[in-house]
Each structure stands twice: as structure tokens, then as C-alpha cells.
Amino acid sequence: MGELHFASIGVLPSIPDSLTIPQFQLDLATSTDRPARPSGTSCFIDDLSGKQVYLEEVRERTQGLANALSSLYSIGEDDVVLLFSRNHLDYPIAIWAAHRVGAIVSPANPDFTRQELEYQLKATKAKLLIAHPDVLNVAIPAAQAYGLAPDRILIFDALNNAVSKFVNVDSLVERGLRTSKAFLERRLKRGEGKTKLAFLSFSSGTTGTPKAVAIPHIAVIANVLQLAAHSRINEEYGDWNDRRYRPGDTAIGVLPFYHIYGLVVNLHFLLYCGMSIVIVPKFNFEGMLKSIVRHKITHLMIVPPQAVLLCKHPAVKKYDLSGIRYIMIGAAPLSDEVNERLFKLFPDAHIGQGYGMTETCTVISIWSIERKRGISGSAGQLIPGVVARILKSDGTLGGYGDVGELVVKAPSNALGYFNNPQATQETFVDGFVRTGDEVRVAPDGELRIIDRIKEIMKVRGFQVAPAELEGTLLCVLVSCNKAAGTHHLSRDHPDISDACVVGVPDDYSGEVPLAFVVLTADAAGRAERNPHDLKTIRVSILKHVADLKIGYKHLAGGVEFVDSIPKNPSGKLLRRVLRERAKELKTTKAKL
């Protein structure tokens, strides 16, 4: 069928299909077919305190928490545990403890608003919520609105939660270790790892509101082994000082673990490589620079906005960053200019980009192990086990050099969208995932992202669905009758008649949302009589979205008033028309 099937150096090893993630990560951690963790090399390091957690303690704490989750909260097979927290030493422990008892983990962004967290709780039917104390002001009302009892909320330990009515994870670990084992960890049948769910990670897909991506245990294991094969981590392929991943190296864990990039690559893959991970609760740029020096960090896994800061922030000159020997940029494309500046700033480091999605759990391409520096503008080469198709606009399959939508099959692909068969059918087709990204593959195998066919924006590496923001502008859920199963919608902003949201280029964030808004007749009349009212309306629209949505979904691109929203005869928004108009507006403003 005109498939493109190519892989970088390395043969994909056998992928175990009867193991859970903790069985693979922890129980087989000393097997001979993976890098040996050097004596004295911890798994995790707390950024602020410097506390180190070693492999045996990780295993022990995981077992203790699993025992408590089973005995005290009856968490078991296919129950959903939702994690609402910033990075924390016990975040991985909570994940693997839930997996030990057969549960599914759904990570949530700790910057969510109450409405956003409530949405994820409902979509996953979560049985337990584990939150950081700093976000209880959101977690408590969201859980209450969802109908989760207060005693089903647990908290991670933090400096400011000495007194709390909520049970903390540390005490549960201790209790679980003191009591008899209350559960029998299930061994999966052969092939069951392909269907047994491990995560419900949220993605906007190619269109629409966030959807729960159903990720089985084998997907994470497969992606770890694919990256390992691509990187030849068990081979003596070159001088020790120039190998990309070395047991005993130290990586910064500043990427949030709720994000698929941080979860799979920064956490699971680097742990597999025998490295230490410095766990940073929340990104602060100068704080990150201090951490690099304090912990002698060698590996950075970052997103484009952080790369921009490395190149342009004046604080960089104050710190000795010469120990950095690896920088991977993912989650969104990086400009050629920033890429080249990184090369000059870190002349001896391995630097390049990778590409992946939540739906492919995670990486499908990364720069070649044969190259110290990735090619500017390239997302690298497909990693072992990935099959790619280029679907051209006329529906035919393209070859090298042709432009079209990237469609991929990989052993790490998710199963689909949880409880959403329609969205699943649109994106998951015959074992392939439609990425919604327009690409070109060069004869040398380099993958270049040309544009997005899908409507989704990438803001600071996070997915933002225009339709979700349009729904916020036009109508919101104001009441519901759970017993009757009915929802009542009403127009929320009285001045908006119609709206369309598009992404506009931004040097720091990659893209930011801009809303084109059609005013109601009443609002338009007020603005015509008093031009100052137009400014007031614009401010109120910006505030409305800011009140209901997480920060990266705010209308940082602004609000533009138009007479009408362009649509085709069937009523579908002509978003591409307004994207071009937004680019023109940005260019015009830049010249003023």
C-alpha cells in the first residue's frame, strides 16, 4: 500500500506482553538485558531537599502503598485513581502502587480549574483522588461536585501540610508496610498486557474537547524498549564519554509527569537507563539553572519555551552549565534559529528533537544515534518498530518527498479513546493512528513537520482544542440533574453571538489562542454608541476564559471583533481562513 517502513540503527527486541509496568520497571530492574544501575546511584532526588530514593526503597514504598490502597480503600481491578499533583517523590510510587493492585491511573494537570478537574473525574469515573496539598482548594470542590466523598481524597506530603484532615500518602506507605499483605498481585496472561489499561491520559486528539486516551501496559514498556533499541544503550558503540545515555548520569525531571512526554520519556525511559532523576515540583527558569549546578545535571528533557529561555535569558550567563551533555526538545516544533543557538551555547552536547503524541504513547521519531546534533527543522527518524504512511490530500498514499498527513502504527499505540467510539474511529484506523500533522519524509529518513491539518493548537507544548474554547465563549454547563442524567446549557457571555478560535504564532509559546468574536446586536449597538464599551467587552471576554480555563488556554492572542464568522455551506467553520487573517493581523501590529 505504499507504506514507508524504515527505522534507525537497532533491532526492536521482544516486547513482553504479560507484564505490568511496575513488574517491568521494578521487578526486572536488575536483569541482564538492561543497563546496570551503578552502586550508589539513586532513582530519584528531591530538588529542594536533596533527599535521594534508591531502588529498594522505591520497591518497598510501592508495595506498602499498594497494600494500603487495597486494604483501606478497596482499590482493585480497573478502578481509576486520579493523580492531581505537581511532580513529587511519591508521584511514581502512587502510579506503580495503583498498577500493582490492578488499577488504572489518570494523571491530571495541577493547574486545572475546578470545572476542568471535575470533567476529568467524571470522564474517568475515578474512585480515588490523590492530590498535592497546594491544590486542595481546587480538588475539594471538584470532588464534591463529582460526588467523591472527602475520605476518598489523599494527599502527598509537603512542607505546609503538617496538620490536615486528609490522610497523606507517606502514612499510608508506613501502614501498608506494617500490615499483612491484603492483595494478590495478578500476573497477566500472555498477550493481556496489550489490553490491560495502565493510564487514562488526556488529549484533545485532532479536534474537540479533551478525551481520555486508553493506554495499555505494553504501550509504555514498548516505547521504553523502542527508545533503548534506537539509542543502543546496551552496546559499546563508542567512547564512554560520548554515549548518549549512560547509567549513573543525572537528568532533570522538570517536565510534568502528568504529561505523556514527562511520564514515559523523562520518567520511565530514563529510569530504565539506570539514571537518577531530579524531581522538580514546578518549573521556574532560574530555579532550573540552580538545580543544574546543584545536582550536576547532565541531561535536559525540555520543551521549546524552555529552550528559548536557555538561548535568550540573561540569567544563563551566571551559571556554569558546562556539565550538560544532552538536550532533547519535544512536545512542539523548535525553530531553526533557536536550534542553532542551542548548538553554539552547548557545543559538546547531544542536541535534537523528537516527535510523538499521547495517542502513540509517546515517541515515534528522534534524531539518529549516529548524529550528535539533530538536523534543524527535523523531528528525527522513525524509531524501531514504527510503520509510517503519508496520506496525501487526494486520499492516495505518498512516498519520500511527498507532503501529507502522517499516519503511524507502532507497538506503543494506545487502544483508542476511553468510552468514545466515535472519536476512536476517526483517529485510530486499522491499527494506525492519524496524527493530524502534515509532514514530509526525506529519502534519508528525516521526518519534517510541515503544518497541522488538525485544528489543535500547541501552546507551550500543551494541546489546546479551539472547539473547547469556543464552547467556553458561547455556552457552559450551568446546572445538571445527575439522577435524570440531564445537562442544561445556557449562553454564558451575553455579548457573544458567534466565535471562532485560532492559534497565532508566538516566539515563546509556539502558538497562543486568539478569538474572533461576533457581538450580539445589543452589544454591537452599545459599542457603536460608546467606543469605550468595546474595550470593556474585550476585557470581560478575556476574564471569562481566564476564570474557567487553565493558564495556557487563556486568550493570550487577544480578541478580535468581526461582523461574521466564515463558514462553508454546511455550516462548518472555515478556520484556515481566520488563521491566515490572524497571521496578517500579527504582521500588521508588528510593523506599527
Q: Please give the C-alpha separations between residue 130 and each of 198, 331, 532, in angstroms, as whole numbers.
A: 16, 26, 47
- Last-in-domain residue among 187, 221, 252: 187
**Do 96 and 22 form a contact (C-beta atoms < 8 A)?**
yes
- The answer to whether residue 46 sits within a structural domain is no
**Do 553 and 546 form a contact (C-beta atoms < 8 A)?**
no
Please report, for the domain that includes residue 485, its CATH number: 3.30.300.30
Domains identified in the chain, total number: 2
From the list 4, 3, 5, 9, the residue with the least C-alpha distance to 367 is: 9
- The answer to whether residue 74 sits within a structural domain is yes
The 496-506 sheet, strands edge to edge: 496-506, 510-519, 558-561
**Which helix (DSSP H) or strand (DSSP E) does residue 273 occupy?**
none
pLDDT value, residue 143 = 98
For residue 431, count other CB atoms closer than 10 A to its CB.
10
Q: Along the 592 residues of the chain, how does pLDDT read in single tens digits? A: 356 555 445 578 899 999 999 999 999 887 778 899 999 999 999 999 999 999 999 999 999 999 999 999 999 999 999 999 999 999 999 999 999 999 999 999 999 999 999 999 999 999 999 999 999 999 999 999 999 999 999 999 876 554 578 999 999 999 999 999 889 999 999 999 999 999 999 987 666 678 999 999 999 999 999 999 999 998 888 888 889 999 999 999 999 999 999 999 999 999 999 999 999 999 999 999 999 999 999 999 998 888 888 988 899 999 999 999 999 998 777 777 788 889 999 999 999 999 999 999 999 999 999 899 999 888 999 999 999 999 988 888 888 889 899 999 999 999 999 999 999 999 999 999 999 888 999 888 889 888 766 677 888 878 788 878 887 887 643 333 333 343 333 346 788 888 889 888 887 888 899 999 988 888 888 988 888 888 999 999 999 999 889 989 999 999 999 988 887 654 557 777 888 888 888 777 766 6
- The answer to whether residue 176 sits within a structural domain is yes
Rounded to 10°, the helix 466-474/532-548 angle is: 120
Determine phi and psi for 331, rounding to 5 degrees: 80, -25
- The answer to whether residue 100 sits within a structural domain is yes
Q: Quick check: pTM over 0.75?
A: yes
Domain carrying residue 506: 457-591
**Do 320 and 296 form a contact (C-beta atoms < 8 A)?**
no
Cβ burial of 478 (10 Å; 0-12, 13-18, 19+) is exposed
- The answer to whether residue 35 sits within a structural domain is no
- Last-in-domain residue among 161, 187, 213: 187
Please report, for the domain that includes residue 86, its CATH number: 3.40.50.980
- The answer to whether residue 354 sits within a structural domain is no
- Last-in-domain residue among 153, 187, 221: 187
* Distance (Å, whole) CA 19 – CA 39: 26
For residue 442, count other CB atoms closer than 10 A to its CB.
13
- The answer to whether residue 555 sits within a structural domain is yes
- The answer to whether residue 25 sits within a structural domain is no
pLDDT value, residue 159 = 61
Determine phi and psi for 81, rounding to 5 degrees: -110, 120
* Distance (Å, whole) CA 139 – CA 144: 8
**Do 199 and 215 form a contact (C-beta atoms < 8 A)?**
yes
